[in-house]
Amino acid sequence: MAVRVEDNPERSRYEAYVDDRLAGYSNYRRRPDLIALDHTQVDDRFEGQGVGSSLAIRALGDARSAGLAVLPFCEFMNEYIQRHPEHADLVPASQRERFGL
């Protein structure tokens, strides 16, 4: 199954599509130097098929490319970073304890 993730800045979210159907999204708040990841939702029909991970990979990759700090308020994004500690450096050192990193 191929998952396509697009940034939709008008809605302040990343959107994941499978066969042109919205399969999930991840809301964010963006500031000039940071992005706060607030909530991730995956349609029940696509649970466990990598949609959430695809959203996380895109959001964190874009943050890294843009030099943005990440605040993972979203439980899913926070847990993703915990499971993939190579992304923990995106969270400011002063905020890591707050997010359990």
Domain ranges of the chain: 4-99
Asked if residue 1 has pLDDT above 80, the reply is no
Q: Which tokens hold the place of 22? A: 């919205």
DSSP letters of 66-90?
A: HT-EEEE-SHHHHHHHHH-GGGGGG
- Percentage of the chain lying above the pLDDT 70 cut: 100
pLDDT at residue 63, as a whole number: 98
Quick check: helix, strand or coil at residue 29?
A: strand
pTM, 2 dp: 0.95
Q: Which tokens hold the place of 85? A: 């500690």
Query: Which CATH class, in words, describes the domain spanning 4-99?
Result: alpha beta
